[in-house]
Amino acid sequence: MSTAQALVARNGASALSLREVARELNMASSAIYRYFATRDELLTTLIVNAYNDMGAAVEKADAKLSTAGHRERFVGVARAVRRWALRHPHDYALIFGTPVSGYVAPAGTIVAATRVSAVLGRILSQAEADTTTASPSAAERAMVDVDAVTAVTGPLSGPRVIDALSAWSAIYGLISFELFGHFVGSVKKNDTFFDAALHSWADRFGLPN
Partner DNA sequence: TAGAATCAAGAGCAGTGCTCGCATTTTTTG
Partner DNA sequence: CAAAAAATGCGAGCACTGCTCTTGATTCTA
Contacting positions for a second copy (CB under 8 A): 12-15, 93, 96-101, 103-105, 110, 113, 139, 142-145, 148-149, 162-163, 165-166, 169-174, 176-177, 180-189, 192-193, 196-197, 200, 204
Residue nearer to DNA on the CB measure, 79 or 90 = 90
Residue nearer to a second copy on the CB measure, 27 or 110 = 110
| Least distance (Å) between residue 184 CB and DNA | 24
Q: Figure out which of the listed residues 9, 12, 33, 133 binds DNA, where binding follows CB under 7 A.
A: 33
Closest by Cα among 67, 60, 95, 57 to 172? 95
Residue nearer to a second copy on the CB measure, 25 or 206 = 206
Closest by Cα among 111, 106, 107 to 38? 106
CA angle (193 as vertex; 71, 154 as ends), nearest 5? 30
Query: Pattern of binders to DNA over 86-125, x per CB under 7 A?
Result: ----------------------------------------
How many Å apart are CA 135 and CA 21, to the nearest integer? 52
How many Å apart are CA 31 and CA 35, to the nearest integer? 8
Q: What is the SS3 assignment for 1? A: coil
Q: Does 148 bind DNA (CB under 7 A)?
A: no
CA angle (81 as vertex; 85, 10 as ends), nearest 5? 15
Residue nearer to a second copy on the CB measure, 34 or 188 = 188
Instruction: Choose from a second copy, DNA, none: what does 33 bind? Cβ within 5-8 Å by kind.
Output: DNA
Residue nearer to a second copy on the CB measure, 57 or 175 = 175
Residues 6+ apart with CB under 8 A from 177: 183
| Least distance (Å) between residue 37 CB and DNA | 7
How many Å apart are CA 78 and CA 61, to the nearest integer? 10
Helix (H) or strand (E) holding 141: helix 138-143
* Site of interaction with DNA (CB under 7 A): 16-20, 26-31, 33-35, 37-40
